[in-house]
Amino acid sequence: MSAVTEIHTGGIKQFYDKILLVALLVALLVSAAILWFKIQQSKELLATSGEAVMPSEEQTVAPVDEAQMLAQMERLREPFQIPPRSQRMFVSEIRYACQKCGKPVPMLEKKCPFCGFEDEGVVDPTRRDSDGDGMPDWWEEKYELNPFNPDDATLDSDGDGFTNYEEFLAGTDPRNPASFPDLPIKLRIAEPPRREPLQVQFLAVQEIIEGQKSYQLNLRDRTYFAKVGDRVGGFEIVGYDEANDALIVRQGQRQRTLKRGVGAMDEDYIVKFLLLVDGSRFDVKVGTEFKLRGAAYRFVELMADGRARVVAVESGKEYLVPAVDPRELEIRLNDPSRGIGPEGIQSEIFAPTPPLRR
């Protein structure tokens, strides 16, 4: 038993190297067969996919468009950035998706900055008013207001006595106290007008130089010499009626005739104005001038509806000044920094207001 075992063991030891060599050869043959099988599968896959197995023929290449390449390089140097909106704090910017490329576009933009697509359905950015306070978004953002807070329309951001809404209407800077609308829009009639008896008398005609006549008038115990077109105490000399020896004068829109030597009684209105900017009150007679912050104005007439017609002496711009509204007095007393917004009362301005800076 032991002899047989020794013979078997001795045979394996004697042919060990040959057995190992045969095993290696078999492994190589199996590997080669598997490799060949994989190659065949790859060829069949290439054939069915339509890709060329053999190298394609040489093809000419179009030259590079340098202008396009330079434009792309310029865009890389200065990439597009969506400008931030004021007073957004930690709230994300509001945008809409472009209908063409789907990328986010700022709400105030009508044209997509990425693909250039212009959406006709988007509201004109110059007219968009997100909070409905009468001031467009672009104007509120320009002056660092909040386009989503309607309360800032009645605030006075620069302390000049005018609300942000009033400054928007006038085209002035709500952040600069030296830039403010015309003061008469904050002028009000504080009390019912008073009447003062007035004696007017046409006395004589003088013609020192041929063709140039002057007319003597007595008014408030004073004597005046005036020509046609001049103003005297609120009266404008319109003309002279030689046939009737009478002087034609006008006060406001009312015209009357003064016969020579005949006294005429009239009544002069006195109005107490209130300037809402600083709360000052002052009396002004019809036909006289007064000043607001150095600018001269003339109180022309008191109209039938109770409003006062005021004219700027330098520009000729006309204003209708209404009676003060109790709401304005309440706002003035409770919070001087606030004012009347889009729903409040404004003086009516007949001359064109300054154009808005857009």
Answer whether residue 87 shows pLDDT above 80.
Answer: no
pTM of the model: 0.48
Tell me what the mean pLDDT of segment 304-308 comes to: 90
pLDDT of residue 357: 34
pLDDT of residue 304: 85
Give me the residue spans of the domains in the chain.
183-192+270-349, 194-269
**Number of neighbouring beta carbons within 10 Å of residue 147:** 24
- Looking at per-residue pLDDT, the higher value among 73 and 55 belongs to 73
SS3 328: helix
Q: Do residues 263 and 199 make contact, with C-beta atoms less than 8 angstroms apart?
A: yes
- Rounded Cα distance, 139 and 159, in Å: 19
State in words which class domain 194-269 has: mainly beta
Answer whether residue 355 shows pLDDT above 60.
Answer: no
Crossing angle of helices 16-49 and 2-14, rounded to 10°:
50
Distance of CA 202 to the CA centre of its chain: 56
The percentage of the chain sitting over the pLDDT mark of 70, rounded to a whole number, equals 74
Answer whether residue 119 shows pLDDT above 50.
Answer: yes
Nearest to 278 by CA among 191, 320, 336, 192: 336
pLDDT of residue 307: 92
